[in-house]
Amino acid sequence: MPKAARFSRYGGPEVLTVEEVPLPEPGRGQVRVAVAAAGVNAIDWKIRSGFFAGSDAPDEPQGTGFDLAGTVDAVGEGVRSLRPGTAVFGKAATGAVATHALADADGLVAKPDWLSFPLAAGLPVVAETAYRTLRDLGLRAGHTLLIHAVSGGVGLVAAQLALSRGATVIGTASRGHHDFLTELGVRPVEYGEGLLERVRGVTDSVDLVLDAAGRDVLGLSVELTGDPDRVLTIADGNAGAHGVRFSGGGPDAAPLPEVFAEVLPMLESGALRLPIQQTFPLERIADAHRLSEDGHGRGKIVIEVG
């Protein structure tokens, strides 16, 4: 029987269970993917915890996860671009942490042979978010970009994309990540009290700020850039109080083929690195969420399913 990680009430990681479920059938424009691996992102546990909820409990059991990699095993009406047996990765239309998941065909990209399923599963959300936020910030060669939480998935991809485009990148991270970040070409600074002075100690000016941390750094970021339009957050719901833009994707999301036209060649050549922090089996999805919520990791957490 197919299995899926689901939750029927909001709360901590303990509300997640792995259950037998009916085999999902693809609708028009969709495919069914036999999932090999699924990525874990902060948005997953925020949804599970009820952060965005307007009620005490979901109306019905909910799946979890958006990122997946696997093999197409059924196609819905109108799908011409993908066939059963094609290895793909991208965003799921239903919970990705499952043995089988549905996805819109245009939300998937063919997986090259050199790319592993676990790494492919860790890419879609972080790569699209990094690409989109740099686009919306208007990053150009010669800019100095400050990234808060640069050692996380979004931060790492955004930093390496920005560096490849000729920008200087400063990033906040805990001390244990500094050597790795320096290898990439990032100028790391430790977050916490005194951050403003530490940033000013490594650069004369900051042109743009990407906040991937959500740790009350927006006021400081506006002070560094001198203009709230030069600051963008994906993690702080208090953005409006600082006049800062909040980017959550949705209709503004970048098309995955466009994103990976830039990202995949960099990955293949080694110009972009995205470490996998830890992998878990499907049955340990709750532990994966705990690790993600704990923060301070480097790179991606991945669920290996098949």
Range of the domain at 214: 126-250
CA 250, 78, 89, 50: dihedral to nearest 10 degrees?
40
This prediction's pTM: 0.94
pLDDT per residue over 204-214, tens digit each?
999 999 999 99
| CATH number of the CATH domain containing 131 | 3.40.50.720
**DSSP labels for 100-124?**
EEEEEGGGEEEPPTTS-HHHHHTSH
Query: At residue 135, does pLDDT exceed 80?
Result: yes
Task: Report residue 239's pLDDT band, with 50, 70 and 90 as the boundaries.
Answer: very high
Asked whether residue 260 is assigned to any structural domain, the reply reads no
The predicted model gives 46-58 an average pLDDT of: 82
Number of Cβ within a 10 Å radius of residue 212: 28
Count of the separate structural domains present in the chain: 2
pLDDT per residue over 177-228, tens digit each?
999 999 999 999 998 899 999 999 999 999 999 999 999 999 999 999 999 9
Asked whether residue 214 is assigned to any structural domain, the reply reads yes
Cα–Cα distance, 204 to 224 (Å, whole number)? 10
Both 132 and 230 in one domain: the answer is yes
Cα–Cα distance, 175 to 252 (Å, whole number)? 34
pLDDT for res 118:
98
Cα distances (Å, whole numbers) of residue 45 to 49, 125, 253, 263, 287: 6, 14, 20, 26, 11
Q: Where are the alpha helices (DSSP H) in the chain?
A: 42-49, 117-121, 124-137, 153-164, 178-184, 195-200, 218-225, 256-269, 285-294
Asked whether residue 20 is assigned to any structural domain, the reply reads yes
Asked whether residue 262 is assigned to any structural domain, the reply reads no
pLDDT per residue over 66-99, tens digit each?
999 999 999 999 999 999 999 999 999 889 999 9
Residue 286's φ and ψ, nearest 5 degrees, are -65, -40
Asked whether residue 179 is assigned to any structural domain, the reply reads yes
β pairing state of 168-172 and 144-148? parallel
Query: At residue 55, does pLDDT exceed 70?
Result: no
| CATH number of the CATH domain containing 17 | 3.90.180.10
pLDDT for res 80:
94
Query: At residue 52, does pLDDT exceed 90?
Result: no
Both 95 and 138 in one domain: the answer is no
pLDDT for res 94:
81
Task: Report residue 54's pLDDT band, with 50, 70 and 90 as the boundaries.
Answer: low
Both 45 and 133 in one domain: the answer is no
The predicted model gives 271-280 an average pLDDT of: 96
Q: Which residues pair with 169 in a beta bridge?
A: 145
